[in-house]
Amino acid sequence: MKKELQEKLFKEYPGIFRQKDMDKSKTAMSWGISCGDGWYVLIDNLCANIQNRMLNVNRGKPKEAHLICEAVQVKEKFGGLRFYTQGCDDYIAGVIGLAESMSYHICSACGNPSSEQKSNRGWIHPHCNECKEKRNKESAEISLSLRQLKIPFEEN
C-alpha cells in the first residue's frame, strides 16, 4: 500500500495500529500494511468498525478493563486480506472475517470488483480485468527484456 494511504490509516486509528513503531522482532506490523491500494477503503471501514466496537464496549469501564484490539500484521495472502490482531472479542473477529471474505471480490490494485482469481507464477491476486491485463502486459515486457539480454528466464 502506498505510504500516504497507510499513514492516513495510522493517523485515523492510532490505537489499532499502535504496534507500527515497535521493533521488527516483536511485531510484523512494523513492516507496514502489505497489500494493494485497492483495499484501502475495505481496511478503513474494517478499522472504523473495530474502533467503534472498542469505544462502545469500553464506555464507562476503568482503563484496566478496556477491550484492546491491536493489528499485528495486515497483508495479502493467497489472494485475500489477512488482518491479524492481538486482543479482540467475537464481534471484532466476525467483522475481520467478513472483511477478509469480501477482499476476494475486490481488486487489490484499484478497488473495483475483481474477476476470477488466477495464479501468476504461483501468486494469486484478486484483480479486475483491466488491472489483470495491465499486469500481464508488464510481465510480458519484462520477459521480453530478459530474453533480449539473454538472461535465462522460466515462463509458466
Q: What integer is the mean pLDDT of 89-115?
A: 95
Strand partners, 89: none
More confident residue, 132 or 50: 50
Backbone angles phi, psi at 123, to 5 degrees: -105, 140
SS3 (DSSP) at 102: helix
The order of strands in the sheet holding 80-86 is 33-34, 70-77, 80-86
Task: Look at residue 24 and tell me whether its pLDDT is greater than 80.
Answer: yes
Q: What integer is the mean pLDDT of 2-22?
A: 97
Q: What integer is the mean pLDDT of 83-103?
A: 97
Whose CA is closest to 17, among 51, 49, 45? 51
SS3 (DSSP) at 111: coil
pLDDT at position 143 is: 73
Q: How far lies 22's CA from each of 25, 26, 27, 62, 149, in Å?
A: 8, 7, 7, 26, 43
CA distance 62 to 40: 33
pLDDT at position 142 is: 77
DSSP state of 106: B
Out of 65-69, 86-90, 123-127, which region has the weakest mean confidence (pLDDT)? 123-127
Q: What's this model's pTM, rounded to 2 decimal places?
A: 0.86
Task: Look at residue 118 and tell me whether its pLDDT is greater than 90.
Answer: no
pLDDT at position 136 is: 79
